[in-house]
Amino acid sequence: MFRRQLFAAALVCAVAIAPVHAQTTEVSGVKFNNKVTVAATALQLNGAGTRYKAIFKVYSAALYLPNKAATPEAVLATPGPKRMHVVMLREIDANELGKLFTRGMQDNSSREEFGKSIAGTLRLSEMFAAKKRLVAGEQFTVDFVPGTGTIIAVNGQVQGEPVKEPEFFSALMRIWLGRSPADSLLKNALLGQSAERAPHES
């Protein structure tokens, strides 16, 4: 009788605990919420992964959309708010990261597309230059809100006014999802695809 009661109590605890674990997805020690709200719109985790440089983990990233999307084209075409959430896994020169982002935007956008995102790119570079360094655990979000623009927040603090040009957000997303992504396996992970990486793989 006691064993049956103990089993029933354990089962109740398991049922109560399970939804809590299901509310987050862990990537390289970083827990991302499976659901977030941006501009009063519920977004779901489309995918999450880790950016590697050689054998080193640089940051974990998560992409949030109103509905699941499995291709870069579908991500960019999805209407409504979107979010990219990046959490640093090691210390890095923020100015250098800003330069890498700018290069990634140039490499994955046409001249016309990049030209329309110049104002936002300069703002991004200034933001990283002012920050100087990003250390493990620090984070930033990039939110796209239709009619408002792209809102960048570092450690929860919004950085200036929104970048109004929608081309900026698209160019920024191509850093991770473009034809020459920062990390091809991270691209797969953000699109909800398998992204297994061998220990020696860069």
3.40.50.10190, 1.10.3720.10, 1.10.357.10, 3.50.70.10: which CATH number matches 25-190?
3.50.70.10
Domain boundaries, the chain: 25-190
3-state secondary structure 48-116: EEEEEECCEEEEEEEEEECCCCCCHHHHHHCCCCEEEEEEECCCEEHHHHHHHHHHHHHHCCCHHHHHH
Percent of the chain scoring above 70 in pLDDT: 85
The confidence band for 116, taking pLDDT boundaries of 50, 70 and 90, is confident
pLDDT single digits (tens) 166-183: 889 999 999 999 999 989
